[in-house]
Amino acid sequence: MKSAVVLLPGLNRDRDMIAALTKISGQAPATVWQTDTEIPDVDLITIPGGFSFGDYLRCGAIAARMPVMRAVAEKAAKGVMVIGVCNGFQILVEAGLLPGALMRNSSLKFVCRQVKLQITNANTMFTRRYQPGQIIRSPVAHHDGNYFADADTLARLEGEGQVVFRYAEGTNPNGSINDIAGIVSKQGNVLGLMPHPENLIEAAHGGNDGRALFEGALGIAA
Amino acid sequence: MIKARITVTLKNGVLDPQGKAIEHALSGLGFDGVGAVRQGKVFDVELAESDKAKAEADLKAMCDKLLANTVIENYSVTLT
């Protein structure tokens, strides 16, 4: 299974994502730059975290309008898997590939800590290596992770099983509605999440709770 | 040339923690009776366009495509 990493000015977790994908899949991901209009033939596209374009206007707003995102949207429409982590999640909602919006943390503070996540839908390509209801650990580091969607959208997300990760055991770090930490698209092939599973994939990280996400997406045996 | 001012505000019902913090800070400064404070954004835009209707349509398109996130924000356009 091949993967690609989208690069934009201001992202700072791209090297972490490249390292994680290389370690887990055994081959380095392709990299695509913001102005690229074509993405190579891959099974998984990832948009890493950071502060693309300095978070100007709104987090992810400028990045979402760059040419590469049209290419990401075309691939997503064809069923290619897409994972947006942190700023990548913000970019996906700004690009309209996922519903809702990510707002300033309710505490108004940047949060950098470990949280607990519950797998609320283990029946997706991204979560199939976890048990339903399983609680895993994951680092978070963001200022704008407060997920919001209007009541109709929220009811649809919950009803269709599109909420796949929820902050658990009182660890919601940002005031996110319904403790939502990560959602998938209606078709199930686009995932956005605020936590950083790529930063918890080996013993040196202090655990490998995030590894199964990439193994599931890439179809790699644990 | 046409000049315009675009105001972007949060929709009703969308929580505004920054507005809340400002509201508390104002109370802390001794401004009594401050009700809800909501924070928004203002864009002043110059357009090389003489047709006002066309300018207004363009500005609205700019809001829909970039300047506002209509999931959480409303906007208004005023030609100045």
Query: Which tokens sit at A44?
Result: 């998984």
CB A187 within 8 A of CB A78: no
Domains with residue ranges and CATH for chain B: 1-77 (3.30.1280.10)
Percentage of residues in chain B with pLDDT exceeding 70?
100
Dist CA A14 CA A84 (whole Å): 11
Q: Please state the pTM of the whole predicted model.
A: 0.94
Profile chain A (222 residues) by mean pLDDT over runs of 10 residues. 96 97 96 96 98 96 97 98 98 98 95 98 97 98 97 97 98 97 98 98 95 95 71
Nearest residue in chain A measured CA to CA from B11: A150
CB B55 within 8 A of CB B78: no
Nearest residue in chain A measured CA to CA from B12: A150
Dist CA A152 CA A149 (whole Å): 8
Among residues A22, A35, A125, the alpha carbon closest in space to that of A4 is found at A22
Burial A75-105 (b: 16+ CB within 10 A, else e): bbeeebbbbbbbbbbbbbbbbebbbbbbbbb
In this prediction, residue A169 carries a pLDDT of 97
By Cβ distance, the residue of A58, A146, A175 closest to B69 is A58
- Model ipTM value: 0.86
By Cβ distance, the residue of A101, A104, A150 closest to B18 is A104
